[in-house]
Structure 1
Amino acid sequence: MAIILIVEDDRLLNEGIAYALGREHYDVVSAFSSEEGLDAFRSHEVHLIILDINLPDRSGIELCKDIRQLSTVPILFLTAKDTEQDMVVGFESGADDYMAKPFSMAVLSQRLKAILRRARGEDAPQLFSYRDITIHYDKMKVYKHHQEIKLTSTEFKLLTILSRNHKMVLTRQMILEKLWDWDGIFVDENTLSVNIKRLRNKIEDDPKHNVYIKTVFGIGYTWGSEA
Structure 2
Amino acid sequence: MQRILIVEDDATISGGIRLYLQGKGFAADCAGTIARAETLLAGSSYHLILLDIRLPDGSGLELCSRLRKISAAPVIFLTANDTESQMIAGFQHGCDDYIAKPFSIELLYQRILAVLRRSQSAASGDVFSYLTLTVDFVKMQVQKENAPVKLSAMEYKLLELLIRNRGQVLTCDLILERLWDCDGNFVDENTLRVLIRRLRQKIETDPKNPKLIVTVFGIGYTFGESQ
Corresponding residue number in structure 2 for 1:224: none
Alignment match, 2:169:
none
1:116 counterpart = 2:100: no
Q: 2:25, 2:125 → 1: CA distance?
A: 28
User: Conserved in 2, the CA contact under 8 Å of 1:7 and 1:33?
Assistant: yes
Q: After TM superposition, list the pairs within 5 Å mapping 1:160-199 onto structure 2.
A: none
Amino acid at match of 1:48: L
RMSD between superposed Cα atoms in Å: 4.3
Counterpart AA for 2:110: Q
Q: Does 1:89 align with 2:103?
A: no
Residues 110-140 of structure 1: CA deviation (Å, up to 9, x unaligned): 111111111111798779xxxxxxxx97x55
Normalised to the residue count of structure 1, the TM-score between the two structures is 0.58
Give 1:73's aligned residue. Answer: 73
Once the two structures are TM-superposed, the CA of residue 42 in structure 1 deviates from its matched residue by 1.1
Q: Which structure has the higher relative contact order (CA within 8 Å, separation 6+)?
A: 2
Q: Secondary structure at the match of 1:91?
A: helix
Residue 74 of structure 1 aligns with an amino acid whose one-letter code is P
Aligned partner of 1:225 in structure 2 is none
CA deviation after TM superposition for structure 1 residue 191, in Å: 7.3
Quick one: distance in 2 between partners of 1:3 and 1:13? 18
8 Å CA contact 1:6–1:18 kept in 2: the answer is yes
Distance of 1:57 and 1:123 partners within structure 2: 33
Q: Which residue of 1 aligns with 2:40?
A: 40
Q: 1:126 to 1:65 in 2, by over 3 A?
A: same
Which 4+ runs in 1 deviate beyond 4 A?
Answer: 122-127, 139-142, 151-155, 183-188, 190-195
Q: Percent identity?
A: 37
With the length of structure 2 as denominator, give the TM-score of the two structures.
0.58
Q: How many residues align?
A: 177
Letter in 1 for 2:107: V
Gaps of 5+ in 2: 128-135, 142-149, 160-165, 167-174, 177-191, 204-210, 212-227
Provide Cα deviations, 1:159-193, integer angstroms capped at 9, x if missing partner.
xxxxxxxxxxxxxxx9xxxxxxxx999977x9789
In 1, Cα distance between equivalents of 2:123 and 2:47: 16
Unaligned regions of 5+ residues in structure 1, if any?
A: 128-135, 143-150, 159-173, 175-182, 196-219, 221-227
Residue 7 of structure 1 pairs with residue 7 of structure 2:
yes
**2-structure distance, mates of 1:19, 1:12:** 11
Distance across 1 between alignment mates of 2:89 and 2:119: 22
Counterpart of 2:62 in structure 1 is 62
